[in-house]
Structure 1
């Protein structure tokens, strides 16, 4: 079945109803599990870290276990803070409430961020019919990364809303606002700062200027409130993310940790051994090769107009790949790329192989989570002992889900297909509502 026939089948009312039923059932199932999640990671780590910061305790160098015990929270393996000082400063007001109500307010904030992101991505979009927009909305809601963000009380949905907002701001030629939104996401999570490189390569100097000013202002406010010493203590948190216990986790899906785990598995060596410099060199080479591919794809668009925000989508995938640490819930950011890909595919402006690779990435994002929970936790499982090399391959399905997502965005950016200028609306679309010609997506 080709991509057009698959899309036509998925838009049928019965299929659409099934997708939304599954999405609502998954959300309802998550809600039944969430009442006890206020005491567990990742929310508990946010709360412990911000609470410690508010009470003059350095959360980056201090073991947070006693703090968690005092607050009735489960610290687990998250012994230190790893979030940026601006993030903890923004989270700090929630620590003036008890953890349970703070958790539900945090959940409401994340749900609002998801609603904003979905509206920005799907409402009044060129190339998306009403049915397709509702189909994509259902697929986003039922996706494993979205549900994992809610389950663990994560923060990637806020980053998703900021990145989607930046894209729409650039669409309206408000590059300054786009720069500020990327600066905000970078201050909160650090790895989105790579998107400033997108502005530079695209010569969006106004966006670069506003992003730089926004970052400088955020750093200044953070240092003014917390002090220079406490702000610089974030270095300890960043170094903790490079610890063997963190890097060796199979759900740490960024490129660097994947290279490290592969090196350790093939050589049987351990961190700190005499050959560890080879591992570090391999990570550097892999990172530079990936960034080089992204730059090549970006510079290949001679007119620098980035139709359908193809290279913007590629830079988002690149930022996750090159992050020193990345978890399964980071994959929610690929929703931006996949929506743009499907919208452009409506009139043949995307290759079929890019569409199918995006579908594979979406499926693997769910499969990898099921495989991880069913066969690999807690290690060593009986499956790992009986089938060690098969288990080793299955362990990397999360990385493969990210890799296929990157390949989909790379093909989306580089495949030469008929393109309609982004400033022109085809005759079958309208800027009001979700209407489009029925033969299109």
Structure 2
């Protein structure tokens, strides 16, 4: 950690917010000279990639020296992790003390959590906001839940997809407060920065969907994965005459995933969302459909994974969802080690000897996310499935035994009545 204060994503946050504070557009300006002036390493992150509200919230840290700001930023993220873990694990139904401590240890050891600190990222703040929104819904505070998701959407954009959950679950108060929170945050950003500077975020969106970013195998969301598979299988590059097919394939894949999620949501008529199954599925869906996503985004899967364990301890979770979640957890850690040992720096001897296997290993981060989504989907539809045949047979046999016993008792009572008469 001490060696990271002048590099990684924290460096990009600091440079971008510092430029914004000094009237420089960080979305269209090369930040390398600013980083050199501040003693920071810009590396390939030469432009700002965060939303204007995020940079405004980060801006006060630029009034401190980078090293001090770094440790304060780490403290903020560690506090967010502690809050999220407390709300997820402390005194929750289905989580006895021993199980909660075990899950806490597994979370701290989890690769996406450690990567958030390694890169100086901000996904732990989003995790805390989403867990807090879930607990607010648990207490029927829909307005507070909507505001919390609005804050997450202003900071990172992709949490906005959870508006679909609120709409389909008919949580209209949450929808209203979410829309109002985004409107107020947006107007405040425009009032402070001005409309041209706020609109300049379009440059960041275009840069993040550029070939140089999409081709990175650690960019694990669905759209970049489809693009990489298309380029690999067809041998084409962006700008070719067949590029419209790639865009159509991305749109089709997004629609399929969103459609599966909507169908599972509508099939569940229980508005209370027991065990927060549908809420968990929408979180996994947001990760799948975000235009750009990195390995540390997987930290948000802690919500569905913990909910699965809590329901499993009371026999309300399917074994296939649990095993798929466990596989996703393990693969998210193994993929990084395999990638660093066999595939960096390219081209390695392994890639030259076994190119197809190497290509498959490069996509293990996406596979870990896909496994997490499948686990969340199975978890969401589990209580909609009929009983398993063995359980059904046992239930019917028990019902017959009870019915026979009741019949015998009634017959004995009737015979006794006849003798008395």
Same fold (TM over 0.5): yes
Following superposition of structure 1 onto structure 2, how do residues 123-162 of structure 1 map, counting pairs within 5 Å? 123-162=90-129
Task: For 1:310 and 1:180, locate their aligned partners in 2 and report how far apart those are by CA, in whole Å.
Answer: 21
Aligned: 1:409 with 2:385: no
**Deviation by residue 1:273-302 (Cα, 9 ceiling, x = unmatched):** 000000000000000000000000000111
For the Cα contact (< 8 Å) 2:268–2:384, is it kept in 1?
no
Residue of 199, 206, 210 corresponding to 1:239? 206
Task: For 1:367 and 1:359, locate their aligned partners in 2 and report how far apart those are by CA, in whole Å.
Answer: 12
Task: For 1:417 and 1:284, locate their aligned partners in 2 and report how far apart those are by CA, in whole Å.
Answer: 29
For the Cα contact (< 8 Å) 1:294–1:410, is it kept in 2?
yes
**Deviation by residue 1:73-92 (Cα, 9 ceiling, x = unmatched):** 11111011010000000000
Residue of 245, 266, 282 corresponding to 2:233? 266
Tell me the equivalent position of 1:67.
34
Deviation at 1:417, TM superposition (A): 6.5
Tell me the equivalent position of 2:348.
381
Following superposition of structure 1 onto structure 2, how do residues 25-424 of structure 1 map, counting pairs within 5 Å? 34-416=1-383
Task: For 1:213 and 1:68, locate their aligned partners in 2 and report how far apart those are by CA, in whole Å.
Answer: 36
For the Cα contact (< 8 Å) 1:45–1:81, is it kept in 2?
yes
Tell me the SS of whatever aligns to 1:415. Answer: helix
**Deviation by residue 1:387-441 (Cα, 9 ceiling, x = unmatched):** 111110000000000000000000000123799xxxxxxxxxxxxxxxxxxxxxx
TM-score w.r.t. structure 2 length?
0.91
Task: For 1:202 and 1:143, locate their aligned partners in 2 and report how far apart those are by CA, in whole Å.
Answer: 32
RMSD: 1.0
Deviation at 1:69, TM superposition (A): 0.7
Deviation at 1:371, TM superposition (A): 1.5
Deviation at 1:101, TM superposition (A): 0.5
Task: For 2:306 and 2:240, locate their aligned partners in 1 and report how far apart those are by CA, in whole Å.
Answer: 45
Segments of 5+ residues of structure 2 without an aligned counterpart are 387-421
TM-score w.r.t. structure 1 length?
0.87
Segment drifting more, 382-391 vs 218-227? 382-391
Segment drifting more, 395-404 vs 302-311? 302-311
Q: Provide closer, same or farther for how the CA distance between residues 418 and 127 of structure 1 changes in structure 2, counting only shifts above 3 A.
A: farther
For the Cα contact (< 8 Å) 1:127–1:343, is it kept in 2?
yes
For the Cα contact (< 8 Å) 1:107–1:153, is it kept in 2?
yes
Deviation at 1:236, TM superposition (A): 0.3
Deviation at 1:220, TM superposition (A): 0.7
Segments of 5+ residues of structure 1 without an aligned counterpart are 1-33, 420-441
The structure whose RCO (Cα within 8 Å, separation 6+) is larger is: 1
Task: For 1:303 and 1:284, locate their aligned partners in 2 and report how far apart those are by CA, in whole Å.
Answer: 30
**Deviation by residue 1:185-214 (Cα, 9 ceiling, x = unmatched):** 000000000001110111100000000000
Greater fraction helix: 2
Segment drifting more, 135-144 vs 375-384? 375-384
For the Cα contact (< 8 Å) 1:316–1:333, is it kept in 2?
yes
For the Cα contact (< 8 Å) 1:349–1:418, is it kept in 2?
no
Tell me the SS of whatever aligns to 2:268. Answer: coil
Tell me the SS of whatever aligns to 1:59. Answer: coil
**Deviation by residue 1:83-132 (Cα, 9 ceiling, x = unmatched):** 00000000000000111010000000000000000000001100000000
